[in-house]
Structure 1
Amino acid sequence: MVELKTKTSIDAMYEAGQVVARALTAARDAADVGVSLLELDELAHGVLREAGATSPFLGYRPSFAPTPFPAVLCTSVNDAIVHGVPTGYRLRDGDLVSLDFGAQLHGWAGDSALSFVVGTPRPEDARLVETAERALAAGIAAAVPGNRMGDIGHAIGTVCRSAGYGILDDFGGHGIGRRMHEDPPVPNEGRPGRGLPLRPGMVLAIEPMLLAGGRDDYHVAPDGWTLRTNDGSRAAHAEHTVAITESGPRVLTERH
């Protein structure tokens, strides 16, 4: 069932979203050559503690996972697409990093992700990251009353496919509210004018995931969480929590 949020609830979700935004900004700014993924996770954990928020990631165990997730921050590097578990790996010049983070504050959740290159980016990596952001922006622009869920997926898929990238389609976006994952699912490809009608009060986590090699297939790493491209190509992930309102989409995890 899709829960429609009131303006008061959306305002409360914005506060949770801003905790997410601060943590991602801090982790991105700290991600330099020689910094470990565990150090980024601890930094993000500190933002939660300072805000009086909790993590919807830590201890989360969906049906596909063999163990609960052990961290507050997903750290996916190079050929890792999403759900990367922080380790002692120290970042190197040219690494492509995707960070995914959530926060729960006063009973409401926020969820967002970004990708970037540490140090000197390769042109092809810079293009991949920029395309992920454009795909996210296209999906957000389609999140308006009167459209349908297929319009969001079509907008995202058009940007990704026209650039020659693969799409991680069976792990897409989702509704969000009191819980991190709620109805409805938000696809990264779709047919315009099809699917669930979009209504004011719906809050969605929109999150394109791009595979540079152009293929859509992946495998699960031995940790049981990290999804990696089968061809070893790099991947990028971009996500925002977005409220559908009468006046247009409101990005609740906007980074200032």
Structure 2
Amino acid sequence: MVKFYPSLSPDLSEWCMSQPLFYIASAPRYGDHINISPKGLPSTTFSILDPNKAAYIDATGSGAETIAHLYDNGRCVDIDAVAGWLGSYGGEDSTSDISRGMFAGTVGVQRLLKLFDKYKIKATWFIPGHTLETFPEDCAAIRDKGHEIGLHGYSHENPADMTIEQQRDVLDKTYKMLTEFCGKPPKGSVAPWWETSKEGAELLLSYGIEYDHSMSHEDCQMYWLRTGDSWTKIDYSKKAEEWMKPLVKGEDTG
């Protein structure tokens, strides 16, 4: 039974701020289900302002509910599992965090499969290559249930910190892995680490990827990605007139 609170008591606030990750629930314009997505880290991007108000900074790639809205009543799931702790959440040296990843890749996957079966929901699962190779039986269950599987990097690495060669190597490996695993090439992708790179869209296009839900240009509408956007970073060692310049838009990909 759900219990509602009129406000956040001190003990609830303390509990919230002690969690490793903050989630938010949302729903599409119609339907009878909700979607839950990771939104903020209490240590950096989530804060309780008062007993009735909290604030968070949305993160690129965390908007799983957005892609659900695009398909109205569709679903999507990112199975970061162990890969998420290796690449993004700072838990690569923690046996406890790795254990959380194991739970996600096994118990979590099976519970979601049962839930989707119960309500006859077909979903898109974005699976890192590390998850696919670490939990092959669980990932096979996803495939065999008829769900779509999309790209999500290998170890939830940060594309913005990688060279173009490294990005291409990861994409090439994971693209071939999913193609062999599913018997057909993947159509969709979401960037790992809640981050993408300037070369990301062009790389995906070179592999024939049809859609990506890593960006945040719109609320819940599909749109063509652009390539070639450029902007001037602030350089306080120079005169302000040298960096007071607008973003220059590139070209649409479609």
Same fold (TM > 0.5): no
Structure showing the higher helix proportion among its residues: 2
TM-score when normalising by structure 1: 0.30
Structure showing the higher strand proportion among its residues: 1
Structure with bigger gyration radius: 2
Q: Work out which structure has the larger RCO, using CA pairs closer than 8 Å and 6 or more positions apart in sequence.
A: 1
